[in-house]
Amino acid sequence: MQACGGAYPPETRRKYFITGPQWAAAYQGQALFHAPTRQPIGFADVIREYAKIGIGHWCTHDTDVIPTEQLGKDGQKEIVARIQKSLAEHGLKCSMVTTETFYHEVFAASPAAEAPEIREYARFRVCNTVEVGHELGAQFAVYWPGTLGYYVQGAVEETQTLRWYADALNAACERDIVVAREKNRPTLKHCLEAKPFEPQAEILLPTSDAMLGFIASGLLKHPEMVGLNPEYLHELMWGGAPRAALARALLAGKLWHFDINDGYRLKHDVDIGVGLVNPLDWLNVLVLLRSHGFNGPFNLDFKPPRTTSNWGVFAVSFPSAVDRFITLWEMAGEVQQDPIIKEASEALQAGAGVGPGADAKAIAEANKELLTLHELIAHRLVQLLLGLHRGRTFVV
Ligand code: 3MF
Ligand code: MG
Ligand code: MG
């Protein structure tokens, strides 16, 4: 890290609303075809190491920290108290809680399966997570539905299944309203996260746009309490442009939380650290978010490489991801102020000054350089990204 030119100090990193997931740091390297490689690690270690790095917020699935059989029981209370102590000791805040509805076999046929007892259990799980969230002082609850889909066709009736899934979210929102009143706290922001494939063959809500449609479908009792947690790579996986997906969420007033990572189009969920694959696209994403006043939470939902040691996870993987994010965020600010981009953008919007009533040919002729300016702006963005605007000339 030193040879790389150093790093941002923890105080600088803490100024950003960057959140560190329990599951990302505790990931043991066990992807589908891989045996685990890292030692198990608990919340106390993760919170302590995040504090040292300067990651000021921590988030978790219910079962990342509470064994399934202890959920809602005395064991849960005792664990939540220990988490509160760890957070206080290291000056971290819990930003978000989320319910795991994909790992345990009970959710094999989705949290909205036909069997009523599975759906009742799913309702218990999301309501319990809301309670844990309030205990830990969280502002957000995230829902990646996980197994909401199927492998074989025809048995699952999509409209009914979505109604049942909405029932779970409705229960969570209603529980939230009650608990928030009891604790004199604001209600949580409930954020849906879409992923186009995995862990089912077919997914009922595969994209952020599908989630927006679901929020507006009339099935939710409190649509105003429900927004989005898009994940950068999940939009790329289906071939979408993440920046355009985020723009649609912004227009709907639903961009509330953002999972940041990187990867490749039309491939599986590789969860690479932010900015390692598509830095130019990332720069542009952050320009969009800055210009719309979105400043977090930015959730580091990536996976440290498979054989990296527990030491390397905190010495290299997390701090380097945070620092790439901060650098790209600062560069996005530079883009917003860049006089050349400003002038080119203004010229684009001024138009060519063709008078009213001109025909298509004349308008097109007068606007020939519109795409030239697009290209000039793109060139300038690459210059800013690579630092070429600081005077590099090409010499061999
Ligand atoms: C899966 C994910 C999930 C969600 C998490 C939050 C394990 O691809 O991205 O991370 O982000 O479940 O609800
Ligand atoms: Mg995610
Ligand atoms: Mg993911």
Instruction: Identify the residue whose C-alpha is closest to ligand 1 atom 13.
Output: 144
> Per-residue pLDDT averaged across 54-64, rounded?
98
Pocket mutation for ligand 1, best pick of 98, 126, 130 (most atoms within 8 Å of C-beta): 98
* pLDDT over 90 at 12, yes or no: yes
Confidence of residue 301 (pLDDT cuts 50, 70, 90): very high
Report the amino acid identity of residue 55: I
The confidence score (pLDDT) of residue 159 equals: 98
How confident is the model over 170-187, as pLDDT tens digits? 999 999 999 999 999 999
Buried b (16+ CB within 10 A) or exposed e, 57-71: bbbbbbbbbbeeebb
Q: Is 301 in the pocket of ligand 1 (CB under 6 A)?
A: yes
Confidence of residue 395 (pLDDT cuts 50, 70, 90): confident
Confidence of residue 326 (pLDDT cuts 50, 70, 90): very high
Note the helical H segments in the chain. 10-14, 22-26, 43-53, 62-65, 74-90, 116-136, 158-183, 208-215, 232-237, 242-251, 279-291, 310-312, 318-337, 339-350, 360-366, 370-386
> What is the C-alpha to C-alpha distance for residues 306 and 36, in angstroms, rounded to an integer?
8
* pLDDT over 90 at 1, yes or no: no
> What is the C-alpha to C-alpha distance for residues 102 and 168, in angstroms, rounded to an integer?
15
The confidence score (pLDDT) of residue 32 equals: 82
Q: Is 144 in the pocket of ligand 1 (CB under 6 A)?
A: yes
* 124 three-state secondary structure: helix
The confidence score (pLDDT) of residue 195 equals: 98
Which atom of ligand 1 is the closest one to the Cα of 271? 8
* pLDDT over 90 at 394, yes or no: no
Contact at 8 Å (CB) between 339 and 377?
no
* pLDDT over 90 at 6, yes or no: no
Question: Which residues on neighbouring strands pair with residue 285, listed in sequence order?
Answer: none
> What is the C-alpha to C-alpha distance for residues 280 and 382, in angstroms, rounded to an integer?
7
* pLDDT over 90 at 364, yes or no: yes
Instruction: Identify the residue whose C-alpha is closest to ligand 1 atom 6.
Output: 144
* pLDDT over 80 at 127, yes or no: yes
Query: How large is the greatest C-alpha to C-alpha distance in the chain, in angstroms?
Result: 76
* pLDDT over 90 at 391, yes or no: no
Q: Which residues have CB atoms below 5 A from the ion given as ligand 3?
A: 269
How confident is the model over 240-275, as pLDDT tens digits? 999 999 999 999 999 999 999 999 999 999 999 999
Q: Which ligand is nearest to the CA of 234?
A: 3
Task: Using a cut of 0.95, tell me whether the model's pTM lies above it.
Answer: yes
Q: What are 242's two structure tokens?
A: 């993440």
How confident is the model over 43-56, as pLDDT tens digits? 999 999 999 999 99
- ∠ Cα 244 368 243 (to 5°): 10
The confidence score (pLDDT) of residue 2 equals: 82
> What is the C-alpha to C-alpha distance for residues 391 and 396, in angstroms, rounded to an integer?
15
Per the prediction, the chain carries an average pLDDT of: 97
Q: What are 185's two structure tokens?
A: 């706290």
Contact at 8 Å (CB) between 92 and 47?
yes
Which atom of ligand 1 is the closest one to the Cα of 198? 8
Contact at 8 Å (CB) between 302 and 273?
yes
How confident is the model over 193-221, as pLDDT tens digits? 999 999 999 999 999 999 999 999 999 99
Residue, of 328 and 32, whose pLDDT is higher: 328
* pLDDT over 90 at 393, yes or no: no
Instruction: Identify the residue whose C-alpha is closest to ligand 1 atom 9.
Output: 301
* pLDDT over 90 at 136, yes or no: yes
